[in-house]
Amino acid sequence: MKLAFRIGYWMIALALITAILLSLDYSFTQALLISLVFCPCAIVLEWLMPKAEQPVHKLYVFALVLVASVLLILLIHRLLWSPFMKSQVWYILDVQPVLVNPVFLGLLLSALALGDMGWRRWLDKRFPADSPTIRFFSDRKMVTLAAADIAYIESNDTEVRLVTVAGQSYRNKTRIGQWENILGEDFVRIHRSYLVNRACISSVEADSLVAAGTTLPISRKYRKANK
């Protein structure tokens, strides 16, 4: 059900972008083909942004997706117009300026990515599913856990430690920022070194909380972010 709604979102987005391009005097076929660039680029942007922990890395990701979008738009123009144009600069001359405007492209891609994120979160609340299964390596062995069984994750420099509700501990090399993206909204970042299962939190103080019987610190940065 959720997959069908997700597909529906992107179909509507595709139709809206096609309508915008039709207003720029593209034919329907041209508008549809060019609009196909934006959806996958927005999905890539949505997927890569959470993986970039530093602001400068996010900027690099954003710039990379913008450049890829422009190149794909120019490529599609070449494929659409090259059989009919004698000039060697046809694909530059025939691209509408707005389609290579980084401000317009950035706003459009951001709107698509943020819209999908919001839509996905609403669907997750509207159609709750069983706790997903998480597979990872710990001490060279494959471990499979239900996400709900993880109480918290602690980062220790080059590795993280996953602690379960039952008190078991697993070491893993995946960075805590990536775990935050994998586990989603059921887990909350309370410190640069701690990611906690919301369901396991039993009490909260000004600068600490108790999760699965363990007291964990809350940093000022993440306390403000989660207010």
DSSP label of 85: -
At which of 109, 126, 143 does a domain end? Answer: 126
Q: Do 51 and 100 share a structural domain?
A: yes
Alpha carbon distance 98, 1 (integer Å): 36
Side-chain half-sphere exposure of 48, counting CA atoms within 13 A: 19
For residue range 145-182, what is the model confidence (pLDDT) as tens digits? 988 899 999 998 789 999 999 899 999 999 998 999 88
Q: Do 106 and 144 share a structural domain?
A: no
Q: Do 157 and 87 share a structural domain?
A: no
Higher pLDDT, residue 162 or 29: 162
pLDDT computed for residue 88 by the predictor: 47
Alpha carbon distance 215, 70 (integer Å): 50
Q: Do 77 and 183 share a structural domain?
A: no
Q: Do 100 and 7 share a structural domain?
A: yes
Q: Do 122 and 14 share a structural domain?
A: yes
Instruction: Identify the domain containing residue 64 by its residue range.
Output: 2-126
- What is this structure's pTM? 0.57
The whole-number average pLDDT for the span 71-75 is: 88
Q: Do 81 and 10 share a structural domain?
A: yes
Which residue bears the tokens 């059921």?
A: 186
